[in-house]
Structures are given as structure tokens and as C-alpha cells.
């Protein structure tokens, strides 16, 4: 029996990555779960195995070249193909006034969010090219693409803007190989990414605007759910979006329109 379509999901142990892995497995994909926290990945892997899905756990730090090369090789050794890549893993990093951000803090955000996206695609794209086309979804943000009012989020916003530039560039570069490249740009989503955030001197960079009570118009202020983003990603890697490429989709319940 031929292997089902195969998806690689980074940051698959929690939040949007976890929800996406579950969604894609439910749609018949075999899934490579990539992340740097083995215990989280194993919990997701076990859930998927129990549902009958094929899964490969890939322990790796997306900012480390040797680990990413080994992880993608392990996935290909297991399934022999790759059809979809969800470049999701990222951190918020340090949010602080530009003169206060230390160079090592800046470099860490760039290393994980931007270098990590590059390494993910560097090692995945050759395998997408070997198939009959494929789909890449980069998880960016409303920050740096639609809004610029999160206090001190310069490093984070810069990486998210750069990810979108990568999407535009690669949509043209990879189109001849029938590889589609799109971005999802979430607003406030219920995940644990705030655990990777350091905020300093917020009052120095806070934008002096009084937002309406509840910044997400569609839900009366409630943040979106990781599953909301997962549904969108599943659409973008599926056949129903076969003519969509080079496109950012903001999924924020209207939040970005207020900010």
C-alpha cells in the first residue's frame, strides 16, 4: 500500500503546531512531528498513533543546521516522500525598547524565527521537488505584517515581516515545481507562546491609544483557538486551494483592523 501524503510540522508539540498535526492526521496525512521538547512531541505522537495515523517524532531545534538536516532525513527514510511543510515553530523573544534589546536577545529571535524557517525549507524543498508538487505554509503573524503596535516587538515583528517576504519570493521561485507557498498570519490565539516572551520597559514603547474593550471584534474580545488556525492550514495544504500561492491570510477575528 503506498504511503499517504506526508506533512512536516515544526513546533508540533503545542499550540498551533499541535492542533495542525492533529488536523492533518485526521485528513489522512502521515505526519512528522518536529520540536525540541520530546515529552510534548511524544504526547501528540501517542494520540495520533491511537487514532490510527502514521507518525514520526523528530526531536530537533529548528535553529540548528545539523539537527534539522538529520530530522528531515529521518522523516524521508521513514516515509520516502514529502508533500506539505508547515513552518510554524517560533518564539516571541524579548520585547523591549530598541536601545535596551541586547544583541544576544535579538540574535536568538532571528535564529529561531527566521533562520529556523530558512533551515526548515532548505532541507524540505528538495524532497517536495521530487514529488508531484506540494504546499508550504509559513506561520507568520499580524505583527510585522498588518500591525506594528505591540510594545517593543521590533525583533519579533522584523522576523514575521521577513517570513512574509520569503513567502512572496519563494512562491515565484518554486511555482515551476508546482510547489505552492502561502502564509497564515494569526492574531491573538490561545497558545503558550507567551511563555517564550520577555517584556521590559513596556511603558517606554506603549502606543498611547485606547483600544475598544475587547480587541477581537468577531468574538467580543476572545482570542482565537489554535484549531481555528489549524483548519486554515489544512485548507492551504489541501487540493481545495490548488490555485492559491504567494498569499498571506490574516486570521485574527478583525483584531488587526483595530490596531
Active site residue 156: yes
Nearest to 33 by CA among 23, 245, 251: 23
Cell of 225: 483557538
List C-alpha distances in Å: 100 to 22, 154, 159, 199, 256. Answer: 40, 11, 18, 11, 27
Enter the C-alpha cell of residue 239.
487540493
SS3 category, 227: helix
> Distance between CA 241 and CA 257 in Å, rounded?
25
DSSP class per residue in 129-179: HHTT-EEEEEE--SBTTTB--STT-HHHHHHHHHHHHHHHHHHHHHHTTTE
From the list 29, 95, 156, 250, the catalytic residue is 156
DSSP 121-133: HHHHHHHHHHTT-
Q: Tell me the DSSP string of 233-254.
A: HHHHHSGGGTT--S-EEEESTT
Within 10 Å of residue 154's Cβ, how many Cβ atoms?
22
* Residues acting as catalytic residues: 156
Amino acid at each position: 500500500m503506498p504511503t499517504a501524503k506526508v506533512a512536516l510540522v515544526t513546533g508540533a508539540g503545542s499550540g498551533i503546531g499541535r492542533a495542525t498535526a492533529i488536523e492533518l492526521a485526521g485528513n489522512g496525512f502521515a505526519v512528522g512531528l518536529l520540536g525540541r521538547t520530546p515529552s510534548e512531541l511524544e504526547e501528540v505522537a501517542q494520540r495520533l498513533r491511537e487514532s490510527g495515523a502514521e507518525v514520526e517524532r523528530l526531536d530537533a531545534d529548528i535553529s540548528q543546521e545539523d539537527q534539522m538536516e538529520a530530522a528531515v532525513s529521518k522523516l524521508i527514510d521513514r516515509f520516502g516522500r514529502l508533500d506539505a511543510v508547515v513552518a510554524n515553530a517560533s518564539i516571541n523573544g524579548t520585547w523591549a525598547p530598541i536601545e535596551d534589546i541586547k544583541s544576544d536577545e535579538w540574535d536568538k529571535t532571528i535564529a529561531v524565527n527566521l533562520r529556523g524557517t530558512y533551515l526548515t525549507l532548505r532541507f524540505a524543498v528538495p524532497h517536495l521537488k521530487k514529488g508531484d508538487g506540494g504546499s508550504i505554509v509559513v506561520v507568520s503573524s499580524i505583527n510585522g505584517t498588518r500591525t506594528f503596535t505591540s510594545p517593543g516587538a521590533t525583533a519579533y515583528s522584523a522576523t514575521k515581516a521577513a517570513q512574509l517576504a520569503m513567502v512572496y519570493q519563494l512562491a515565484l521561485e518554486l511555482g515551476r515545481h508546482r510547489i505552492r507557498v502561502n502564509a497564515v498570519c494569526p492574531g491573538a490565539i490561545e497558545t503558550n507562546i507567551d511563555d517564550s516572551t520577555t517584556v521590559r520597559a513596556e511603558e517606554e514603547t506603549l502606543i498611547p491609544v485606547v483600544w475598544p474593550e475587547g480587541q477581537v471584534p468577531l468574538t467580543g474580545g476572545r482570542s482565537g483557538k489554535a484549531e481555528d488556525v489549524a483548519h486554515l492550514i489544512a485548507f492551504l495544504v489541501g487540493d481545495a486551494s490548488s490555485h492559491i500561492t504567494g498569499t498571506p491570510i490574516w486570521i485574527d477575528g478583525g483584531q488587526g483592523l483595530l490596531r
